Amino acid sequence: MPDSPIFAHGIASGDPLTDRVVIWTRIGSDQASVPVTWKVGRDAELIDVVASGETIAEPHRDHTVHVDVAGLEPGVVYHYGFEAAGEVSPTGRTWTLRPDADRLRFATCSCAKRNAGYFNAYGRIAERDDQM
């Protein structure tokens, strides 16, 4: 769990295609609108940035942001992160689909009931490195 209440809900990615992926976060704030910057890079330090931009976390969307990052290369691992209210999110890892993939694996989770215990299944899914 991040130390910052701004990114207390973490970050995620999904809906990969060969040239794009959606990145997500929820901003913990009571402000009406919160500017959020994002970037996607080839390295975990987000120095080799390939895409970046700004969006707004609005209360009518529960302060969540979904960014459809396009113009990416197929079959490449990317890293991404957000910044809002002077705080930096954890860095995430995602990848685009390979056009010649002969199989696809999904991980699903449900019934996230925090008071029932820690959710190490999410961490185990994130640790997997068998995308290629």
For 64-112, the pLDDT digits (tens) are 999 999 999 999 999 999 999 999 999 999 999 999 988 877 777 766 6
pLDDT at 1: 42
Per-residue pLDDT averaged across 113-126, rounded? 69
Per-residue pLDDT averaged across 28-43, rounded? 95
81 forms bridges with which residues in the sheet? 39
Q: Is the pLDDT of residue 33 over 90?
A: yes
2 close to 38: Cβ distance less than 8 angstroms: no
28 forms bridges with which residues in the sheet? none
pLDDT at 114: 65
Any idea which architecture 5-99 has in CATH?
A: Sandwich (2.60)
Mean pLDDT of the chain: 88
How many CB atoms are located within 10 Å of the residue 110 CB? 5
Domain chopping of the chain, boundaries: 5-99
List for the chain the helix, strand, coil content (%; round to 5): 15, 35, 50
pLDDT at 77: 94
Q: Is the pLDDT of residue 15 over 70?
A: yes
